[in-house]
Amino acid sequence: MLDLTGQVAVITGSGGGIGAVIARRLACQGAQIVINDVNADGAERVAADLRELGVQTLVSVGSVTRADDVDAMVKSTMDTFGRLDILVNNAGITRDGPMIRMTEEQWDLVLDINLKGAFLCTRAAVRPMMKAEYGRIVNISSVVGVGGNKFQANYSASKGGLIALTKSTAQEFASRNITCNAVAPGFIETAMTHVLSEEVRAGWLSRIPLARPGTAEDVANVVAFLASPEAGYVTGQCLNIDGGLIM
């Protein structure tokens, strides 16, 4: 069983959805958790659930697109726990639509949160990790960052860029015993996929060899491994969590 006892994990965008499930999974493995989100109510709800499990939890409300917010999050983490072992760059949004009608605002917003946010959080988190000569960074990408997808030019570009950022980060900080990996979820049951039409859902499922959508727990299981000491010889990789959708 993976053991994260005594470690501290920061999960961005963890006020709900996959981020909240990842936070709970890491907490169940013994980690102390920092919940980050722009939604204060959601972050507090997740933190309250974890505290009921006896997990020491810190809430940091702020945007990953603002360096001041990110730096404050890392500072409060260090002030509270004295360490930062794990960073999960999970915060992300979509603003889908045909490229010909996609606005600059839609492009910029998605790239700012999904890609720039991961850069800012990584830049801030590696400082205490370098001093400790230990760290685990896991970036939540997507299969559309690997294979692209129509009507998701901005999202695909941000998630593809995140995979490249993962590889660069892995190379730059390997000498300090800091690993950086990405996971690329496929068709996962979330609030975003629930709004899809039955026709679109059937189209996705017909392409998945395991013939089912994934769950947030499927993603959290892989993240927990990559965030653990057991994954110490894995870095610069992107693991698809997609039921075989992309091989």
Q: What residue type is assigned to position 180 of the chain?
A: C
**Which amino acid would we find at residue 103?**
T
Q: Which helix (H) or strand (E) holds 70?
A: helix 67-81
* Cβ–Cβ < 8 Å for 231, 138: no
Supply the residues annotated as catalytic.
155
Pairwise CA distance, residues 150 & 38, whole Å: 28
Q: What is the DSSP letter of 65?
A: T
- b vs e for 42-70, b when ≥16 Cβ sit within 10 Å of the residue's Cβ? bbbbbbebbeeeebebbbbbbbbbeeebb
Query: What is the Cα gyration radius of the chain?
Result: 17
